[in-house]
Structure 1
């Protein structure tokens, strides 16, 4: 059928081709908006800025006197005593805790009862009471002797000559630390899978070898963070030795505060900063010790602070390069 003259023929246009898809690398992912997080971050930053401003500008802190006292020889002498007491007490307390934990886990009812009683008693009595009791121990027992019970004595010595201020402080802190370390070590040993004990026993290994080479190294992964927490508490607990006439870091600051009453606040700030430095160093050591014992237990070791810094800088450069490309 022919079209009439003057008729217009409509021709359908071919469908438009869709635009080519953008590459995934060119597409920009929009992060989820979290206004609550930004508000909380802003509040924390404002409070931190106000706190820092108050620390710097408040004349009551006397930062010039703080700088004067911070490295004075008398303060450093007290710091050395604090370090010495902490080192001896940490070592002796850990060794005592290991022995108490092994006694608590032994099959002997006498050893279990003795260990439980010791831990119960020392954790129940405040540390200051233990130190004061040891400081006045010579008033209760003038002499100490070693010999047959209810019989002749082989050795007799004067207790007051042996009980120096340093010895009293170390013994008191070690006795107290051993009670808490015993529970830390016992918990770490119990955290080792029972199959490890059974496998080592099936191989016919001696009990001592099992503990030294198989059980205890695995238990250290659980013991380390908990005992470092105890060690940080021990560093702060050394401030109590001032009450047994040993001038540690805190005792020296107290003594200087009595002589210079106008410098009490700067001296307390000096003590605070030194304790912060000591506990921070212990935390750094804790990180690397935990990282060492994590070998074989995790797929990848946790990155060190330097590795985290390098990764962060590399991510920033990569992000800046992508932004410039877009």
Structure 2
């Protein structure tokens, strides 16, 4: 069996959590047993996440070393090593940490960096990209690794083609690939490719996300397969989706559902106590609905996943 990151298989996502709510969410998550917090500069809440981490550590009586903290290098911060290092150091300052356990390339894209620090630079309504190769981006990540301020480096939103190419020239193999993954988008080929190469996988939006999908897109919570299995276990369908995500492969998978509500933070974690049968896992694997809910073609008009 391949050796994978020793990353907690269940964590708290912070995307779409407002600064006003995320501090309490992170603190509560740590207090009830979460040891994996996922962040990103472009979520524009890392300073509030950092407060939650500090308060959570103090309240739980644990050390920084007991947590796994992931953040991501945004698309506007890839023009040079110096630019990327500044971005990393701001993230560390905001999170009140001396190091990150994992730092990811957020998207295999580069955007124009503007003086005002706009994360989504547009001209005439179109996102402005920069011709910076993934090879150059990864070279910068490898240099950041050498600083000791990040323990591992990886990628997010990469396809199999991106990963295959990256593996032909990287000096340090990506430790992890974070992607949208849920019963409607199981990413079977990508997961198999990653795990066969010793690359761990983290599932983001494991319960789906309705922000950019067409009206009328079926909710995961309304899936008959999940509802039937949930009824047998006397839980909400969300618990089944979360446990499926960490049950379907023997190793190398983690999941990071977002929630700011204490009861949901607790129930999400409790989902990992469920034991799904092989038949139940296969039934979820065999769901016919296939939807990518976060396609950058919808919000940036960049057909990355075509």
Q: TM-score range by the shorter chain?
A: under 0.3
Compare CA radii of gyration and give the structure with the larger one. 1
TM superposition score normalised by structure 1: 0.22
More strand by share: 2
More helix by share: 1
Q: Which has the higher contact order (CA 8 A, sep 6+)?
A: 1
TM superposition score normalised by structure 2: 0.23
